[in-house]
Structure 1
């Protein structure tokens, strides 16, 4: 028995006329009658009462029709589910993210994504950039929100956000109230920097700015995320350099100031495996481009 036999049966059952059913199916009446006869023989049950003037469903035919309707509904649901998976509208998406993404990028992206694709189950995993790169390579996550550079031939990446950076100082620090702060003003300060492993561009750029001002910064402590660095600044451990979004943390007794005549920026990238062709992943990437400013 094939699906076409069921479609033939439904057409005759609904039209109760072989000629009209054949016309609906865009075929001639004789082959249709033959196909229905074969179906009845396969079922070992008569589905229609036939006379020269009428065609009526038998009781067996009525039961079979209800069952066929159910089969078609289930097939339609299966086809719809498969198409949704193909289009990236249903499934599971594992997203890695650096801790700082929780303060700006994720709150901007996730509500939009979940509203647009409610049937996609999202799992979030906080991981450092090196951990995400390994997890992407080993297919433990599908997409990563991480800090560039991502120098791995197996991965594709795209910068989706670039932020300016500022100094974070204890509120009681003399420079907190200075009219302007220049790199040379930082010569004798102690620093709490986010590690080069985590924020390579920011770390290198700041060291270079200090070197150009004639000194090497005294780095007392390194942190893995800027939330930690700000906490250490609040505890009086030194000065830090953080993205402007750090202001939203409202840390106790911490102020934020720009460095005059110095440009410091930090990037956030989206990364995924080159071999990933799932629409689920590609739709997330496209949405990130549209949502993140």
Structure 2
């Protein structure tokens, strides 16, 4: 039995006239009659009662008509769903991200994506940069938003955001009275940082700036996320450096100051497998690229 047999039967059952049904199907009547006979033979029951004047549905035909319509409807729906999935309008996108990506970069992208593709399930997973590379290579996430470095021939990577770093210190700290702070001012200060494994380039860059200034930073505590780092600063345990984009998120009892004469920069990149076949990924990347173009235009205009 083929799909066309159901379509032929439905046309005859609705018209109750072979001539009208044939016209509706853009075919001649004799082949249509043969197709219906073949269908009845395959089903094994009489679906249509025929006389010279009247065509009527048998009881079996009425039941078969109902289920034939349902079958056609389900097939049409399956075709539509397959086409929408191929266009990236349905399905699932798994996004890995580091916590700091939620300061500025990620929220507007997710918001716009969900507005444009409400039928796509977006699975957001907070994962460290190191683990994101593993998850990307295993195919467990479609795209990652993480910190560099990232080097693997199977992955495509590009920088999507950078932010200058500023110093965060307790509001009652003596250095908080200064508008700008020299790197040498940190020589004897207890430092709290993100763990080297969490953001290796930023960690090493900070240590390098201190060593160039003639001292080794007094790192007393490492943490995996800035929420914990800032919490320790507000408790008066030490001072830290954060991306300037984090300033509006963490007020508490913390003051923020520029570090003079050094350019400590936080960077975020996106990464995905070069062979990723998920059509939804392209839509996500289009939104990322559009946002990058708008930000670049704003920078150029200012």
**TM-score per shorter chain, which class?**
0.7 to 0.9
Question: Alpha-carbon deviations, 1:120-160, whole Å to 9, x = none?
Answer: 33333322111221222223333322111211222222322
Q: Are 2:4 and 1:4 aligned?
A: yes
**Equivalent residue number for residue 246 of structure 2:** 246
RMSD (CA atoms): 2.6
- State whether residues 162 and 265 of structure 2, in contact with CA within 8 Å, keep that contact through their aligned partners in structure 1: yes
Q: Secondary structure at the match of 1:89?
A: coil
TM-score (norm 2): 0.84
**Equivalent residue number for residue 108 of structure 2:** 108
Q: Secondary structure at the match of 2:222?
A: strand
Deviation, structure 1 residue 265: 1.8
**Equivalent residue number for residue 99 of structure 2:** 99
Distance 2:5 2:149 in 1: 59
Distance 1:82 1:290 in 2: 27
Alignment of 1:63-78 (within 5 A): 63-78=63-78
Listed as ranges, the gaps of 5+ residues in structure 1 are none
Distance 2:149 2:275 in 1: 20
- State whether residues 179 and 258 of structure 2, in contact with CA within 8 Å, keep that contact through their aligned partners in structure 1: no
Deviation, structure 1 residue 52: 4.2
**Equivalent residue number for residue 231 of structure 1:** 231
Distance 2:169 2:89 in 1: 46
**Equivalent residue number for residue 178 of structure 1:** 178
Distance 2:44 2:231 in 1: 80
Q: Are 2:156 and 1:156 aligned?
A: yes
Listed as ranges, the gaps of 5+ residues in structure 2 are 296-302
Q: Are 2:24 and 1:24 aligned?
A: yes
Q: Secondary structure at the match of 1:181?
A: strand
Q: Secondary structure at the match of 1:73?
A: helix
Q: Are 2:36 and 1:36 aligned?
A: yes
- State whether residues 167 and 258 of structure 1, in contact with CA within 8 Å, keep that contact through their aligned partners in structure 2: yes
Count of residue pairs brought into register by the alignment: 293
Deviation, structure 1 residue 33: 1.5
- State whether residues 179 and 257 of structure 2, in contact with CA within 8 Å, keep that contact through their aligned partners in structure 1: no
Higher deviation after alignment, 116-125 or 260-269: 116-125
